[in-house]
Structure 1
Amino acid sequence: MSILVTGSTGRIGAQVVAQLAASGASVRALTRTPQKAGFPAGVTAVRGDLLDADAMRLALAGVNTLFLLVSNAPDELTQAINTLGLAREAGVKGIVYLSVTRSAEYTDVSHFTAKYAVERMIEQMELPATVLRPSYFFQNDATLKDPLTKAGLYVSPVGDKGVSMVDVRDIADAAVVELLRRDRSPAALPRATYELSGPDALTGASLANLWSDALGRDVRYAGGDLDAFERAVKTQAPAWLAYDLRAMMRRYQVDGAVATPADIERLTTLLGRPPRSYRDFARETALGWQA
């Protein structure tokens, strides 16, 4: 039996690979460049690309459990749907799929709608899968060092409705729990879905206050200017992605994305501990910047 991890070199996938290897699981890590991948001892690097059906057939041969993480891309839906179809043909017994919170509701955000279509396939094909729906990542804000430390501004236009952001370490931990549960089960397990969120409903103003405390300086919320946000993202990313993220921020501003107490309770049970707080993340990040 073995577990195939896609997205194995990213910030979530790399943690999943390391934890699975430490648990003693047999791990295959999919990568386009095996010669450059520095995986832990015992992990088998497998050359492949989610758009290459022939390579994926080879990668999935003999695999018991699949972690499917598909990054935000114009062809994200094709990558995910094809990989799930190939996994079904290969007889994969368990799947953990990384979706997104509010996947069914945010229909005007392209990567949310793509992930919901994948969830529909999982349901309709009765695939033995756990769907993880993470909220906005804490670690996305680690890119805001300059505006926070130099201008005293929190610039992500999340609005004032509240977003229950989540630590990527909690996402990885949840994925590992479910991968091992499915991999170690003698038979395929029923489908399950988890919302992955932090314990607090964070707004632009509350996030600015948390960074003020963490940095020991005044930080204020820059506001909800989506035009300025899209222009800023386009300096670092393609225009389609800048618009996609703008659409997501607009929905945060209009609807929010606040976890329910039941969501937090289920995640706490899954992890065996409460999810991490943004306050602790901000303090850890600020200390790292100062070092």
Structure 2
Amino acid sequence: MTILVTGATGRVGQQIVEQLLQRNMDVRVLTRSPSKVSFSKMVEVVKGDLLNIDSLREAMTGIRTLFLLNAVTGDEFTQALITLNIAKEVGVDRVVYLSVFDAEKAVNVPHFTVKYGAERMLKEQGFSATILRPAYFIDNDVRVKEVIFNNEVYPIPIGGKGIAMIDVTDIAEIAALELIRRDQAETTLPVETLNLVGPDTLSGTDIAAIWSEELGKTIKYGGDDPSGFESYMETIMPKWSAYEMRLMAERYVGYGMVPQAGDTEHLTKLLGRPLKSYRDFVKNLINNERVIFEDRL
């Protein structure tokens, strides 16, 4: 049957759609701006959003499987619960939900706690769901590349306990595989939670060392104090959101995002290939920057 993908114009959602199309699945997306969608004509597009009840009902008509992604916004929790309530109402009972690593533990970080609330609804309302709990997205670091290149500092407070960062393409492929498995199951499958992690658990100094090795010059780790990171984030996002990023960074420093036994092995088996590494990301980013520089000459 057709699978509905929300958040389809974002980094993860776009790639999930492509992964589903590669596997010959029928895909529908819900978006505020259909004119900005550049998917294949095979993708059915419904205009609307997660607070528009009529558009939600329209988007969910004739499907049974949903990919739910909520952006980090002030009304994220309302969006999640409204969407799941409408899904329940119209009989969409198979869900893959993008949550966050250790969602139940970071009680002071708004979007962690919000996602844990949505997880509880999935479990208590009888959905057949896969809950994906990704660690830090590797490609988030595109946002700080200029600081690294120009100031020779890795500025994100990661701390010393380590984070098993994961590549967005790995997240998208795992999500697509789970959507298909849920959609094609002949019986209701139990709720499952997957920690989505990368192959290496890296500290802030580890990450700075990788940049140093790949750039051929010393890149320093900016340290565990989140103040400078928060100030930088205020230049590219609303102040409340930058403060939330600070709270998240404090979580990294205090607790890390360390895989449980068997997490990486399970994901590798699921994908049938190795997980992409942070070093791979750095190499690709540096190579792309060199190509851009050469093109300008």
TM-score norm. by structure 2 comes to 0.95
Superposed displacement of residue 41, structure 1: 3.0
Query: Counterpart of 1:191?
Result: 191
Question: Which shows bigger deviation, 236-245 or 127-136?
Answer: 236-245
Amino acid at match of 1:189: L
Superposed displacement of residue 256, structure 1: 1.2
Query: Counterpart of 1:113?
Result: 113
CA distance in 2 between partners of 1:272 and 1:92 (Å): 29
Query: Counterpart of 2:182?
Result: 182
Query: Counterpart of 2:123?
Result: 123
CA distance in 2 between partners of 1:206 and 1:272 (Å): 27
Alignment of 1:32-43 (within 5 A): 32-43=32-43
Superposed displacement of residue 154, structure 1: 0.5
Amino acid at match of 1:257: M
Label 1:206 to 1:96 Cα distance change in 2 as closer, same or farther (>3 A).
same
Superposed displacement of residue 139, structure 1: 0.2
SS in 2 for 1:25: coil
CA distance in 1 between partners of 2:138 and 2:214 (Å): 14
Amino acid at match of 2:97: Y
How many equivalent pairs are there? 291
Alignment of 1:46-125 (within 5 A): 46-125=46-125
Alignment of 1:245-284 (within 5 A): 245-284=245-284
Amino acid at match of 1:211: W
Superposed displacement of residue 225, structure 1: 2.3
Tell me if structure 1 keeps the 8 A contact 2:198–2:275. yes
Query: Counterpart of 1:148?
Result: 148
Tell me if structure 2 keeps the 8 A contact 1:39–1:45. no
Amino acid at match of 1:39: F
Encode CA deviations 1:147-194: one digit per residue, 9 max, x unaligned.
111121101111111111111111001000001111122232221110
CA distance in 2 between partners of 1:134 and 1:154 (Å): 22
Amino acid at match of 1:222: G
Encode CA deviations 1:1-35: one digit per residue, 9 max, x unaligned.
21000000111100011111121111001111112
Query: Counterpart of 2:216?
Result: 216
1:171 aligns with 2:171: yes
Superposed displacement of residue 263, structure 1: 1.4
SS in 2 for 1:261: coil
Task: List, as ranges, runs of 4+ consecutive aligned residues in structure 1 with deviation greater than 4 Å.
Answer: none
Amino acid at match of 1:260: Q
CA distance in 2 between partners of 1:26 and 1:15 (Å): 15
Tell me if structure 1 keeps the 8 A contact 2:4–2:65. yes
CA distance in 2 between partners of 1:136 and 1:117 (Å): 20
Query: Counterpart of 1:12?
Result: 12
CA RMSD of aligned residues (A): 1.1
CA distance in 2 between partners of 1:87 and 1:272 (Å): 32
Tell me if structure 1 keeps the 8 A contact 2:119–2:131. yes
CA distance in 2 between partners of 1:196 and 1:210 (Å): 22
Query: Counterpart of 2:159?
Result: 159
Tell me if structure 2 keeps the 8 A contact 1:194–1:266. no
CA distance in 2 between partners of 1:136 and 1:221 (Å): 17
Tell me if structure 2 keeps the 8 A contact 1:62–1:90. no
Amino acid at match of 2:37: A
CA distance in 1 between partners of 2:261 and 2:241 (Å): 32
Query: Structure 1 regions of 5+ residues with no counterpart?
Result: none
CA distance in 2 between partners of 1:94 and 1:110 (Å): 26
SS in 2 for 1:12: helix
User: What percentage of aligned pairs have identical amino acids?
Assistant: 46
Query: Structure 2 regions of 5+ residues with no counterpart?
Result: 292-297
SS in 1 for 2:86: helix
Question: Which shows bigger deviation, 188-197 or 129-138?
Answer: 188-197
Amino acid at match of 1:165: M
CA distance in 2 between partners of 1:161 and 1:19 (Å): 33
CA distance in 2 between partners of 1:283 and 1:42 (Å): 34
CA distance in 2 between partners of 1:24 and 1:262 (Å): 31
Tell me if structure 1 keeps the 8 A contact 2:46–2:55. no
Superposed displacement of residue 104, structure 1: 0.6
Amino acid at match of 1:209: A
Query: Counterpart of 2:27?
Result: 27
